Amino acid sequence: MRTTATTTNKLRKMQEQATVLVIDDERAMRDACCQALSRDGYKTETAEDAETGLQKARQKEPDVVLADLKMPGMGGMELLERIRDIDAHIVSIVITGYATIESAVEAMKRNAYDFLPKPFTPDHLRIVIRRALERRRLSIEREQLQQEKEIMKRNFVTLVSHQLRSPLTSVKQYFGVILGGYAGEVVSKQKQMIEKAGSYVDNLIQIIDDWLEISRIEAGNFAGRFEAIALAPILSDTLRLLKPSAEAKRVTLEMNSRDELPVVEGDPNSLKQAFANLINNGIKYNREGGMVIVSVGEEAHDLVVEVSDTGVGISEDDIPFIFDEFFRVKSKETRGISGTGLGLPIAQRIIEGHNGFIRVASEVDKGSTFSVFLPKTEVKQ
Task: Name the residues that contact ligand ADP, by CB under 6 A.
Answer: 277, 281-282, 285, 309, 311-314, 322, 327-329, 334, 339-345, 368
Measured between alpha carbons, how far is 318 from 352 in angstroms, rounded to an integer? Answer: 21
- Judged by beta carbon, residue 53 or residue 311, the one nearer ligand ADP is 311
d(CA 208, CA 230): 31
DSSP helix/strand/coil, 144 = helix
- Among residues 221, 229, 310, which one has the least CA distance to residue 266? 229
Shortest distance, position 244 Cβ to ligand ADP, whole Å: 18
CB 286 within 8 A of CB 251: yes
Q: Residue of minimal CB distance from ligand ADP?
A: 339
Give the residue with the Cβ less far from ligand ADP, 266 or 282.
Answer: 282
We find the least distance from the C-beta atom of residue 268 to ligand ADP, in angstroms, to be 21
Task: Tell me how far, at minimum, the Cβ of 330 lies from ligand ADP, in Å.
Answer: 8
Min dist CB 285 to ligand ADP, Å, is 3
Summarize the chain as % helix, strand, coil (round to 5). Answer: 50, 20, 25
- In sequence order, the 6+-apart residues with CB closer than 8 A to the CB of 312 are 285, 286, 287, 331, 333, 334, 364, 365
Name the residue nearer to ligand ADP (CB basis): 139 or 295.
Answer: 295
Query: Closer CB to ligand ADP, residue 88 or residue 337?
Result: 337
Nearest to ligand ADP of 22, 329 (CB atom): 329
At closest approach, how far in Å is the CB of 279 from ligand ADP?
9
Helix (H) or strand (E) holding 152: helix 122-179
Q: 275: closest CA among 215, 231, 314?
A: 231
CB of 57 to ligand ADP, least distance (A): 37
Shortest CB 155 distance to ligand ADP, Å: 22
- Is 296:304 a contact under the CB 8 Å cutoff? yes
At closest approach, how far in Å is the CB of 339 from ligand ADP? 2
Cis peptide bond prior to 62, omega within 30° of 0: no
Q: Which residue spans within 145-286 are E strands per DSSP?
A: 227-229, 252-256, 262-266
253 C-beta neighbours (distance < 10 Å), count? 19
Q: Compare residues 132 and 314 and give the one whose CB is closer to ligand ADP.
A: 314
Minimal distance, residue 226 CB to ligand ADP, in Å: 25
Residue number, 120 or 327, with CB nearest to ligand ADP: 327
Q: Specify the DSSP element, H or E, that contains 9.
A: helix 5-16
Q: Which is nearer to ligand ADP, 63 or 309 (CB)?
A: 309
H or E stretch at 300: none
Nearer residue to ligand ADP within complex by CB, 17 or 331: 331
CA separation for the pair 156, 160 (Å, rounded): 6
